[in-house]
Amino acid sequence: MSALFVESTHGKRHLCYLGYRYSLKRKNQNDSEYWICVKCQATITSYSDLSVEERDEYTHLPDESDKQILEIRKNLKRKACEESGPIDHLVEEAYHAINSQSQSNDLIVTIPSIRTMKNTVQKQRRKTRPPVPKSIEQLPLPMPDAY
Ligand SMILES: [Zn+2]
């Protein structure tokens, strides 16, 4: 099984491997990367072919749902930029999809509340699309290309 990159809640690149998640500690000269577990001090080295070398014992169990949540989050953020539908609708749609796909209930329990997810996605959209001005006086000058 090979490693997989995900985006953390702070927009950092994380590495997922066998249900553990790592943040980057340093990049080595031979292009391999040195990672440390987000929950303990276990470290691994990843190579350009996404193979991984483990070094330490873990002090906790793996958590596959952790990775799934981050992936859902990433997809929603991307959707918010690409599509113009209401945020509420996008998030609820995603939740329905998870509920119907998921075999275990664990994921549903640990998933952040629907409201938090909506806020996150809403923020992402504001970054790419300025809010519609309420009156002509509020129009920014010069006009951004988005209008
Ligand atoms: Zn750990």
35: CA distance to ligand 1 center in Å?
Answer: 11
Query: Which pTM does this prediction carry?
Result: 0.60
Does residue 72 come out as left (phi exceeding 0), alpha (psi in the -120 to 50 range) or beta? Answer: alpha
11: CA distance to ligand 1 center in Å?
Answer: 20
- Cβ atoms of residues 59 and 42 within 8 Å: yes
116: CA distance to ligand 1 center in Å?
Answer: 26
- Residue 17 CA to residue 40 CA, distance in Å, equals 14
22: CA distance to ligand 1 center in Å?
Answer: 8
Per-residue confidence in pLDDT tens, the chain, 147 aa: 678 888 888 889 999 998 899 999 999 999 899 999 999 999 999 998 889 998 777 889 888 778 878 888 888 889 988 988 898 888 888 877 777 766 655 555 556 677 888 888 888 888 877 666 666 655 555 555 655
